[in-house]
Amino acid sequence: MIFAHRGLSGRFPENTMLAFEAARKAGVHGIELDVQLSKDGELVIIHDEKINRTTDGTGFIRDFKYKDIVQFDAGSWFNTEFNHARIPRLEEVFQWAKEENNELVINVELKNDVFRYDGMEEKVLTLIEQYDLRDRIILSSFNPESVKRIRTLDNEINTGYLILGIHANAIKVARNIGADAIHCQKEFVQSIHGIQAIENKIPLRTYTINRWSDAQSLLNQGVEVVMTDFCDEFVSNYQ
């Protein structure tokens, strides 16, 4: 499957409703997005712990209440034509996911490997249940303890253990924490550890692949998901 990494982020400001809707219209199979917690406990969609790179503000996301976060311009950094874009809440994405003609899989990455964000797992699971999206959600994190906690709280929801580079113990850790898949870079897929994972029928979901030739090779090798910033191009080639 082809997933849109932070939405159609090669052409729209990442992790915004604009990028997600553009990905849906492009015909992608799923989207990937990042979740953090605001000061007042709202689940907000942003990749970096600081808002500096993708908004006109400065500071850590956890130091702002959502009523202040929503005031920041989350689009002009990409292109001034997107100056109306804002940082969305996860609930907004789930509301959008329930609209007609939207059947996308949603990979929610919990960005809790720098700041722990106590209670994030429970909040996300509660929202998933509220919107009856269990069958369309993948929860992933670089924090193995978070993935383990998700599995403790819910023994059925699809999970992914995120890794960087070639992680020799990835298969062992993934099994120990109850992860359904390993989310990895192409270097891992092509390593002996990635080959072993595929041979043992452990799904691999790869990020961030922006050349179709690489995607084609990885899909042929047996990966389950390729995540890309340019899902429109990939969907066209995939079909």
Residue 97 token pair: 């996911």
Q: How far apart are CA 176 and CA 36, in angstroms?
A: 25
3-state secondary structure of 74: coil
Q: Which of 29, 47, 84, 193 is catalytic?
A: 47
pLDDT tens for each residue of 116-174: 999 999 999 999 999 999 999 999 999 999 999 999 999 999 999 999 999 999 999 99
pLDDT tens for each residue of 200-214: 999 999 999 999 999
47 given a catalytic annotation: yes
Distance of CA 189 to the CA centre of its chain: 19
pLDDT at 126: 98
Angle (CA) 148 186 231, round 5°: 95
**Closest CA relative to residue 85, chosen from 77, 75, 93, 96:** 75
**Closest CA relative to residue 170, chosen from 153, 149, 133, 195:** 195
5 given a catalytic annotation: yes
Distances (CA, A) of 35 to 15, 43, 212, 235: 10, 6, 28, 25
Q: Which of 5, 167, 183, 193 is catalytic?
A: 5
